[in-house]
Structures are given as C-alpha cells and as structure tokens.
Amino acid sequence: MGRLFGTDGIRGVANVDLTPTLSHDLGRALGHLLDARGRQVVIGQDTRRSGDMLVAATAAGLASVGVDVVELGVVTTPCLAHVAESGEFAAGIMVSASHNPADDNGLKVVSGGRKFDDEAEEELERLILRAESLPGATNAGLGRISRDDSWVEHYRDHLRSAAEGALVGLRIGLDCANGSASAIAPDLFRELGAVVTALSSSPDGANINLGSGSTHPEALAAAVLSEGLDLGLAFDGDGDRLIAVDERGSIVDGDKVMGICALARLAEGTLRHGILVATVMSNAGLERAVVAAGGRMLRTPVGDRHVLEAMERADAVLGGEQSGHIIFRDRASTGDGMLTAIELIRTVRAAGGPSLGELADRIPTVPQVMINSAVRHRDQWELDPEFASAVARAEARLGSQGRILVRPSGTEPMIRIMVEGDDAGEIEEIARGLSELAVGRLN
C-alpha cells in the first residue's frame, strides 16, 4: 500500500480510492492521535455529492472513539481553518479535493489553523492502518455529532474587518467554481458594498470546477468585458485560491497578484524585511520586479506548506503560488481566495489612480512553458540517464537566461516540465522535446 497522504492530504476518486471506510478509519485514528476524548473536532466540506457521505463516515469514526464533532456544512477551506484555530477545537477536517474534478474528493487535517506536518501525518497514517484494532467507546463514552452554522459568521466577521470599506461601489464579477465560495462570497461581497455579478454559483454536486473557477477563468473574463465590470475574481472549488481578471479582460494570475501587493507593501514599508516568498514555479518576471523595487524573493518547493514554513523562518508576511494560493500571514495562516481578493482590491484602491490592469503591467512575465507528461514512473526521472542528461544539456543551452524545473506531480501519475527563458520559441522547443522523451523513457 502506498502512502496515503500526498502534498495536500488524502485524495482520490470518491468511493473508489477514498472510501467511507477509509474516512471512518481516519476519524478513529485522529481521535487516538489527539487523545481527544471529550474534546471537539470541526468538519467542513465543499459541494461535491460525495461530501455528505464522507463527512458522515469521518464523523462516525471520531464519535466512535469519544470525540465530539461539529459539522459546518459547505464552507471554504480557509473558513474551516479559521474556525479550527479558534481554540474551541482540537483539530479540523476539510472534506474537499480543491480544484480537482467532481469525482475526486479529499481529506485534509488541520490543527491550529494549519495543515498537519509530515511527522504528524506519518503517525496518523500508521494509526489508520490499524484503525479497527484501536479501542473504542461504549454508549456513555461516545462522541456527539452536531451541526453549528454559527461558526461561519466568525469567519465572515474576519473578512468584513479586512475589507474596511474598500469594495464599496465596485462592479465585480465573481466566479465561484460551483464550489464552496458559492455559499459565502456573493452575499458577503454585496454586503461589503460591491455590485456583484455571480457566475458558476449554483452547485449541484457534480459541476464543481467544471469549466469554471480559478483554473478556467475564461467565462469570467468574457463577462467582465461584456458587462463593463471593474474587475473579476475567480475562486477554486474550496475557495483557497484566487485568479483575478482586470478591466480589459486579461488574466491576473497569482504571481501578478503577489507582485502588486508586494510592490505596494515595499513602497509603504510594510513588506516585513522586504521579503516575498514564492515557489520555484513563480515567474522570473515577478522576482525581477521585486528586486528592482528594493526587495528580495525567497523560493521554496511547490506547496503552500513549504511557503508557510519559509515565511515563518524568514518572518515574512506575504507569500504564495502562481496558482493563486496566497498567504497574508499578518491576517491568516493559510491561503484564502476571498481574503486575497479583498487585499488586492484594497491595494488597487489605495494606489489612487492606476487600474488593476495598469498595476499588473508593472509585473513583467518572462516566457514560460509548462507541460504535464503522463508517465508511470514519475519519481524516477533523475535515475534515467538519457532523460537526466537531456535536462542537463537544455540547462546548459539556456545558461543564466532561463530555468528548467522537472518535478513529479504529488497527486497524479505525471511529471511537470517547466521551461522559462526570454526566447519563447526556444523554450517551447526545449519543453516539447523533454516531454516527448519523458513519455518514451518513463513509461
């Protein structure tokens, strides 16, 4: 049996890889790991049809070992994390597969508002594998399962406080990916004073992320243009990512959002230590802009956990990923699409003139090609001499004017090949050549 936990909790096809039995076992294991009898664990979910089934199984597993469970219903992952760090709960579990297709689902465990570290996940996995042999409780010692939506209001208050009136009068398009943000974002942004056009905000259990949201912002871009909106905001299925659209209908990705906010904070002296934390996937143009403004950029491996850990080590307050998962550590301990949207809008309005598009233009984009190559042996590319040699030759060809990054996917049987450089034709040629070689050598 392979390792259960990937880069973002346990994920798989619901009722195939991620079964009610596994969810139940996770609940039992977590209860024992926390030694949490009599304490509480909070559970949230996104809009997938499988969510109710997996929440029920997970809650039953927790209750069977004496843990009280509070279910929030459909909430975003950052909402779940915010509630989980309130001090009332020993841990939180989010049932979501984020931006993945509807048939997938996932289990993400958080404590103190942040994901379990590797050591805790490894111990949890060992307990899951012997979950049925773990001692349980009898009737009087069983945990109780309840539903309490009022906790979500605490999260809304958190966002209201961050907004400080910045949204008043703006005409905004919101693409909720038919996911968790559908339950919160449209009403909240209207309450904050925006005129909202909501797209993909009618989840039916099967349409989450379907041609919509942060991975497919094209419909939002078209709506911004056709309706003359000031900007658009696209979230992913569990609401922890943001991709924006400017007034011209152009996509403003996570790199540009980070760049806009980092340059503003550098200018006002609130980018602590002048540091922006980003992953190896972030575009070189972002780093050039930050350095030119007097700051510096620290790079980490891919994954928000790595970003947060580096931010804590460097005492940085801003970091994130090109995908739109961005952490404002002075406001939250996790990426939050709605909080990021509010911070971006506050930054644009504080600039006192330039539009979102004009501010985005200040963050250059170096040509970058990303190809996902389906391979069975995704973790063995460095062991294949022909492929590894081809990567080395391509790196030498690019020299200091470019980068090549090859990394295995944490959730799918593929490797991701990224090539970056000032010559678009050259990097396209290199990326396609490496992809073809990978498919031939690593299957």
Range in 34-48, 133-147, 173-187 the model is least confident about:
34-48
State how far the Cα of 213 lies from the Cα of 221, in Å rounded to an integer.
11
The percent of residues in the chain predicted with pLDDT above 90, rounded, is 84
For position 38, what pLDDT does the model report?
A: 55
Domain ranges in the chain with CATH number 3.40.120.10 = 10-149
Class of domain 10-149: alpha beta
Residue 400 is a catalytic residue: no
State how far the Cα of 311 lies from the Cα of 313, in Å rounded to an integer.
6
- More confident position, 411 or 35: 35
Mean pLDDT of 151-163: 96
- Say yes or no to pLDDT of 399 above 80: yes
* Closest by CA position to 36, among listed 63, 58, 70: 63
- Say yes or no to pLDDT of 71 above 90: yes
Range in 102-116, 184-198, 280-294, 400-414 the model is least confident about:
400-414
Mean pLDDT of 147-161: 95
The length of the chain, given as a count of residues: 443
Question: Can you read off the two tokens belonging to residue 394?
Answer: 């391509």
Residue type for position 239 = G
Q: pTM here?
A: 0.91
For position 177, what pLDDT does the model report?
A: 98
Mean pLDDT of 381-389: 89
Establish how many alpha carbons lie within 13 A of residue 222's alpha carbon, considering only the half-sphere containing its beta carbon.
Answer: 6
For position 1, what pLDDT does the model report?
A: 41
Domain ranges in the chain with CATH number 3.30.310.50 = 368-441
- Say yes or no to pLDDT of 97 above 60: yes
Mean pLDDT of 59-88: 95
192 and 216 Cβ atoms separated by less than 8 Å: no
State how far the Cα of 343 lies from the Cα of 259, in Å rounded to an integer.
12
- Say yes or no to pLDDT of 277 above 50: yes
- Say yes or no to pLDDT of 178 above 70: yes
Residue from 96, 98, 212, 373 carrying the catalytic annotation: 98
Mean pLDDT of 27-45: 87
- The CATH number of 368-441 is 3.30.310.50
Residue 441 — pLDDT band, cuts 50, 70, 90?
confident
State how far the Cα of 432 lies from the Cα of 376, in Å rounded to an integer.
18
- Say yes or no to pLDDT of 274 above 50: yes
* Closest by CA position to 391, among listed 374, 375, 415: 415
- Say yes or no to pLDDT of 113 above 80: no
For position 231, what pLDDT does the model report?
A: 98
Mean pLDDT of 141-152: 94
Mean pLDDT of 69-84: 97
- Say yes or no to pLDDT of 215 above 80: yes
State how far the Cα of 34 lies from the Cα of 55, in Å rounded to an integer.
19
